[in-house]
Amino acid sequence: MKLYHSPQAPNPDRVVYFLRAKGKLDAVDLEEVSIMKQEHKTPEYREVSPFAQVPALVLDDGTKITESRAICTYFEGIFPEPNLMGADPKEKALIEMWDRRVEIMFFVQFATWFRNAHPMMAPLEVPQSAEAAAKGEKAAKKMAERFDAHLADNEFLAAGRFSIADITLFIACGFCRVMKYEPHKEHANLGRWYEAMKARGFAG
């Protein structure tokens, strides 16, 4: 199997951290694709990922899978232990619920802020919108407060144990540094959780 990834980009990191948490990073051949150099938009890479998405997984039979959550679902199936996506219907639902909350209610909002406010993104987000940036910033920071409140009484984000939802939130919090915003340093419960996640070693 070959995994196309871009280091320090959140979606590719999600898959790499997921594999590392399972102790299976050596099960794939890693090939780096530079998003900033727009290597993901080359004709060669589009043969792997027609929508120019990173990460992308190519199976030994030639099957191509994109979308980080879908790739993680595949790895959960072939490497079931340790379980990171739920062992029964209730766990699966709770983990997906929180994972989607991180994606849609936090990271997408932060990405809107980042894409519309950071000078580095100006060539990719044309035109940038100060109004969209402000709305994204407000929504992301509000969700960080909600995560902090939830973690006041919970060691992990979902189902009372370590899961992909923790990995997704850990990556999102770390990526926030590009806007000089570190929610885990502004909120005590989120900070405790973040340090515990870092100690698990899946981030390398």
Helix (H) or strand (E) holding 2: strand 2-5
Query: pLDDT value at position 118?
Result: 95
Q: Which portions of the chain are predicted below pLDDT 70?
A: none
Query: pLDDT value at position 122?
Result: 87
Where in the chain are all domains bearing CATH 3.40.30.10? 2-78
Distance of CA 39 to the CA centre of its chain: 20
Where in the chain are all domains bearing CATH 1.20.1050.10? 89-199
Query: pLDDT value at position 92?
Result: 98
CATH number of 89-199: 1.20.1050.10
Query: pLDDT value at position 187?
Result: 98
DSSP state of 60: T
Query: pLDDT value at position 162?
Result: 98
Query: pLDDT value at position 124?
Result: 78
Query: pLDDT value at position 125?
Result: 86
Query: pLDDT value at position 182?
Result: 97
Average pLDDT value over all residues in the chain? 96
Query: pLDDT value at position 95?
Result: 98
CATH superfamily of this structure's domain 2-78: Glutaredoxin (3.40.30.10)
Query: pLDDT value at position 35?
Result: 87
